[in-house]
Amino acid sequence: MYLRRALIAGGSAAAAILGVVAAGKSKGGSDSEILSVAPPATGQWDRNWDRREPISMVNLSKINAETGEEELQLHLNKHKPKATRHIFLIRHSQYKLDGKTDFDRVLTPLGREQADLTGQRLASLGHKYNHIVYSTMTRAKETTEIISKYLPDVNKSSSDLLREGAPIRPEPQVCHWKPDFVYYEDGPRIEAAFRHFIHRADPKQEEDSYEILICHANVIRYVVCRALQFPPEAWLRISLNNGSITYLVIRPNGNVSIRMLGDSGFMPAEKISRT
């Protein structure tokens, strides 16, 4: 019976996806609607949001019909995550807005102080951090260099996926209008960053992990909306201070919660900025 229900569920999911695409075409939806890289929010939790639900990791067509129940359970246990992922999303510190190129948009003196305070805060939490991944933009790299002084034993790597951009046209719309091609180009990359970095632990991971992503406000806001399964168009309704900490927890069963959102309470009031 379990195997039968799983097969039926898989078929229903595929039909639902095809139905969404067909509905978009039949209603004469715009290309941006039909080609949207983020699934629409339904108000109900999608347990297989990261496509890592154990049942989706099993090739059901290979399950023997006679020994199906027992064989399926063995496969499910093999693909069942055991560890929790703790992900800290850090917004870069204040930088020089008047820089003509990314190379010129270095941290301001205040920005360097902010990064220093963020590094102290992360170290004070007492976690055994596994890795730091940072955006390849200058302001994120410089923020990482300063934070790393307080986490000297944590390995670092960079990713172009985490660069700043415009993830999806915000709702409600705002005064700083952008043409559709900007979202068309940036959106898939930022969605790719979400899919690459935000998911439940690999089944082979035995212990909980603590990871740090140092990047940009738009990326973090979009990731938060997607991780919590809020409408992704709501990303611009969230405001994040420079050097702030956002903390996501992803449980083995795929449940996601947020413990901090743009926390900068560890900074003196005069050191806080948003630009």
Per-residue pLDDT reduced to its tens digit, 90-148: 999 999 999 999 999 999 999 999 999 999 999 999 999 999 999 999 999 999 999 99
Determine the Cα–Cα distance for residues 241 and 224; give it in Å rounded to an integer. 15
Q: Which two tokens stand for residue 129?
A: 């951090």
Q: Quickly count: other Cβ atoms within 10 Å of residue 221's Cβ.
A: 25
The secondary structure of 201-267 as a DSSP string is PPTT--S-EEEEEEE-HHHHHHHHHHHTT--GGGGGG----TT-EEEEEE-TTS-EEEEEEEE-TTS
The residues spanned by each domain of the chain are: 2-78, 85-271
Query: What residues contact residue 4 under an 8 Å CB cut-off, 6+ apart?
Result: none
CB 127 within 8 A of CB 133: no
Report field, pTM of the whole predicted structure over 0.75 = yes
| Mean pLDDT, range 52-62, rounded to an integer | 86
Contacts for 64-71 with beta carbons within 8 Å, 24 or more apart?
68/3, 69/1, 69/2, 69/3
What is the tens place of the pLDDT at every residue in 153-196?
A: 999 999 999 999 999 999 998 888 889 999 999 999 999 999 99
Determine the 3-state secondary structure of 90 from DSSP. strand
DSSP 134: E
Q: Quickly count: other Cβ atoms within 10 Å of residue 12's Cβ.
A: 10
pLDDT band at 2 (very low <50, low <70, confident <90, very high): very low
Look at 222 and 67; give whichever has higher pLDDT.
Answer: 222
- Domain 85-271 falls in which CATH fold? Rossmann fold (3.40.50)
Supply the pLDDT for residue 40: 81
